[in-house]
Amino acid sequence: MMTIKNEKQIIDANIFLERFLTYRDIFSEYFKTIKVIDSGEALTYENYQRLEDNYIWNVKKLMIFSSSFIHKYNLEGSDIANNLNEYFVVLIDGMQGINFEKNTVNYDKIEESKKLIEEKSIKFRESFSLILQ
């Protein structure tokens, strides 16, 4: 496993973690937006399909950035990479509570997704913190 050895690696690790946390906040805002759309307070062009499209686009952007970091520091197959992959799986499944055909939301599924996403986020951050020690 990689351990932080020099200033450049510390900077890279901090940038990666900061970006991860920023995206984590962005994803939580998507879940808040579901309620805004459901209540009819959203802009007229904002709908569940558009929300999901933007959500997935941001997941892909984070995946590309994360993949670059994982490859740069040869972390393939590590706990960090595995926990990050688990995080991405639950992120992608996060919008499963929306029925686009009926334009309805299953809030129980959404809450379950949010809980799983947070659990996987914590698990990833804990594994990531090991390289900073």
What tokens does 51 get? 């929300």
Q: Residues 77, 90: contact at Cβ < 8 Å? A: no
Q: Check residue 133 and give its pLDDT.
A: 64
Confidence of residue 95 (pLDDT cuts 50, 70, 90): very high
Question: What percent of the chain is modeled with pLDDT above 90?
Answer: 71
What tokens does 113 get? 């997704």
Tell me the per-residue pLDDT of 15-24, one tens digit each, with 9 for 90 and over. 999 999 999 9
Confidence of residue 66 (pLDDT cuts 50, 70, 90): very high
Q: Residues 13, 131: contact at Cβ < 8 Å? A: yes
Could you give the dihedral angle defined by the CA atoms of residues 88, 111, 118 and 23, in that order, rounded to the nearest 10 degrees?
60
**pLDDT at 92 > cutoff 90:** yes
**pLDDT at 101 > cutoff 80:** yes
Looking at residue 42, the DSSP 8-state letter turns out to be: S
Confidence of residue 3 (pLDDT cuts 50, 70, 90): low
